[in-house]
Copies of this chain bind each other. A is one copy, B any other.
Amino acid sequence: MYPYRHLFDFTREIFLNIGCSLEDAQLATQVLLEADLRGVDSHGVARLSGYIRLYEAGRINPKPTITIVHETPSTATVDGDGGLGLVVAPRAMEIAMEKAENVGSGWVSVRNSNHFGIAGYHAMQALQRDMIGMAMTNASPLVAPTHSTQRMLGTNPIAVAVPANEQPPFVADLATTTAANGKLEILQRKQKKTPSGWVQTATGLGSTNAFEVQSGGALLPLGSTKNRGSHKGYALGSIVDIFSGVLSGANYGPWVPPFVSFLAPPADPVGQGIGHFFGAMRIDAFRPADEFKHHMDNWITAFRNAHVKRGEKAVLIPGDPERIMTAKRLQKGIPLLPPVEKDLAEVGKKFGVKF
């Protein structure tokens, strides 16, 4: 178990060592480690070495000049200048929230960015300002549309955070696939099979092989099969891709550059970097915030108290498991798998930072 503070100091040192400003290193670390706190282990410090390798390959700019390239009172397009998504995304979300302060809502599409950590972090920034927050991003193509064998979309997550009053906030953060790639990676490490409906083979047959994507297979859109509505998951992933990529001038669909440094970006890009999309709506742009939050308490209580199926413990509210995990890990520390520990020790060694 590693105390949050320990991982925070280490990670910040590494980001400082690749040339980030103190402020950016601090911010990137906070965003990255939020994944570890919330139990999304695939998106946290386990990815630090991946970011560093992208930097070494010249694919991440540690000192980006983040600019608004186009705007209206309620919208903006932001160029991330090839910076860490962990830094570009919170800045873009800040712009969305400023616009919401001014005209009720703010919507920001981002190009020329990189992987931004967990979507939920960015959406949740809106909570303390009595706003509803939204965040989405496109990502390297791993997902085949319904009826296809070709990887055309990323796992393209959508996060929405809604404040309540006495109840904890509603925080949904979901890949538009049956299962996020991180869930697959966990099964790979454990050498386990997947449940049916997560992946297909290179020819499009159902499979439970967690390594299927490495053999030309693909992840499946939420819904798994046409009969069970996979065309809906495909449509949702497409909407995320269009809002994040096509609207901003980033790459989209099969052109989104891969996160891993050993795979080259496409030779024929259709835009710049990867794309994100953020939204913020002031609650009191619709109704008094107190009134809304009182009703959110009522909504949450009603759903939490809905009849539970025999054999299950409780009906959960989106964000419940992550909030419970955060409290636990802040107290007891964050567990890391041996390969992650080894990886971090090597990154530390490279920069003379003790892990």
- Name A's B-contacting residues (CB within 8 A): 70-77, 103-105, 107, 109, 132, 144-150, 152, 158, 160, 162, 170, 172, 174-179, 195, 197-198, 203-204, 222-224, 227-229, 231-236, 238-239, 241-243, 246-249, 252-254, 270-271, 281-283, 285-287, 291-292, 295-296, 298-299, 302-303, 306-310, 312-316, 318
Contacts and interface: CB of A to CB of B under 8 A. Distances in A.
Contacts of A70: 285-287
B227 A197 contact: yes
A195 to B, nearest CB: 4
Copies in the complex: 2
A86 to B, nearest CB: 23
B233 A148 contact: no
Nearest to A194: B227
Contacts of A204: 309-310
Given A232-B174, A246-B299, A149 B307 contact: yes
* 10 A-B pairs closest in CB distance: A72-B104, A204-B309, A172-B235, A75-B104, A75-B285, A74-B74, A147-B312, A73-B103, A150-B306, A195-B227
Given A74-B74, A105-B105, A303 B145 contact: yes
Nearest to A243: B132
A198 to B, nearest CB: 8
A222 to B, nearest CB: 5
Given A105-B107, A203-B309, 17 more contacts: A71-B285, A72-B105, A73-B73, A73-B104, A104-B107, A145-B303, A145-B315, A147-B313, A148-B307, A177-B229, A178-B223, A198-B228, A203-B310, A222-B229, A247-B283, A248-B286, A270-B295
A281 B75 contact: yes
A74 B285 contact: yes
Given A74-B73, A148-B308, A235-B174, A287 B248 contact: yes
Contacts of A299: 241-242, 246, 252-253
Nearest to A318: B235
25 contacts: A73-B104, A74-B104, A75-B285, A104-B107, A146-B316, A147-B308, A148-B306, A148-B307, A149-B309, A150-B307, A152-B306, A158-B236, A160-B239, A174-B231, A174-B235, A195-B227, A203-B310, A223-B223, A223-B228, A224-B224, A224-B228, A231-B316, A246-B296, A247-B286, A247-B287
